[in-house]
């Protein structure tokens, strides 16, 4: 039996999330298993369930961590000194992170909470953070627009890029003969911004 003071509760939490992330990135959501995560950190299933009430809760924590890393990636890209076209940087950053971490990224979208249960506030905040990065650049590109208008456009453009990204990772674009999805997504984004400028 692991000695109960080997790790504090919060150390255990991060161990489980870290190892869970590794496992999820390896095998994907469909083959993700609580027992495997427990085994890999040297504890039993029971301990895992003592820290997380359910697999759903653990997966939310893992996906939350993935969202954090995604936001970090986007910020790092935006902070590069030689980045001129910041909107292209965001679009490329979206694809980069998704293609570099396909299974983790897909899990963000394919893991659903129980019917009718809303995502917790801390999770919504992480999504809103990424949205905020985009909204700021859209607002900068639309000097005259209201805050609400640039937010609305940002939401729609994230959805646009997301659609292209999903079709890339899900191989739908392969079936349809698309070979340059990032360029296509960027073209759509630019057209929308030009149109919004009037």
The residues that touch its own copies, with contacts defined as CB under 8 A, are 28, 30, 109-110, 112, 118-119, 124, 127-128, 131, 151-152, 155-164, 166-167, 170-173, 175-178, 181, 184-185, 187-188, 191-192, 194-195
**Least Cβ distance, residue 108 to its own copies (angstroms):** 10
**Least Cβ distance, residue 5 to DNA (angstroms):** 4
Which one, 3 or 80, has the nearer CB to DNA?
A: 3
Q: Comparing C-alpha atoms, which of 179, 173, 142, 176 is closest to residue 157?
A: 142
Q: Comparing C-alpha atoms, which of 66, 94, 65 is closest to residue 78?
A: 94
Which one, 33 or 156, has the nearer CB to DNA?
A: 33
**Least Cβ distance, residue 93 to its own copies (angstroms):** 16
**Least Cβ distance, residue 146 to DNA (angstroms):** 44
Which one, 17 or 126, has the nearer CB to its own copies?
A: 126
Residue linked to tokens 């809760």: 57
Q: Which helix (H) or strand (E) covers residue 186, if one does?
A: helix 181-197
Residues near DNA (CB under 7 A) are 1-7, 9, 12, 32-36, 42-47, 49-50, 53-56
Which partner, DNA, its own copies, none, binds residue 23 by CB below 5 to 8 Å per kind? none
Which partner, DNA, its own copies, none, binds residue 49 by CB below 5 to 8 Å per kind? DNA
């Amino acid at each position: 039996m692991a000695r109960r003071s080997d790790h504090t509760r919060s150390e255990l939490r991060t161990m489980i999330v870290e190892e869970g992330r590794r496992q999820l990135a390896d095998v994907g959501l469909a083959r993700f298993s609580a027992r495997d995560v427990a085994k890999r950190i040297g504890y039993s299933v029971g301990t895992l369930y003592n820290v997380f009430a359910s697999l759903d809760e653990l997966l939310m924590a893992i996906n939350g961590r993935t969202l954090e890393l995604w936001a970090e990636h986007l910020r790092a890209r935006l902070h590069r000194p030689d980045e001129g076209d910041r909107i292209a940087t965001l679009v490329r950053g979206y694809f980069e992170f998704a293609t570099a971490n396909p299974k983790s990224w897909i899990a963000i979208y394919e893991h659903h909470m129980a019917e009718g249960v809303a995502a917790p506030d801390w999770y919504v905040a992480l999504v809103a953070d990424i949205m905020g990065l985009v909204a700021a650049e859209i607002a900068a590109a639309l000097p005259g627009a209201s805050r609400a208008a640039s937010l609305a456009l940002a939401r729609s453009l994230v959805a646009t890029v997301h659609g292209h990204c999903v079709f890339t990772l899900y191989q739908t674009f392969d079936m349809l003969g698309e070979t340059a999805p990032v360029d296509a997504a960027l073209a759509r984004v630019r057209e929308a911004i030009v149109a919004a400028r009037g």
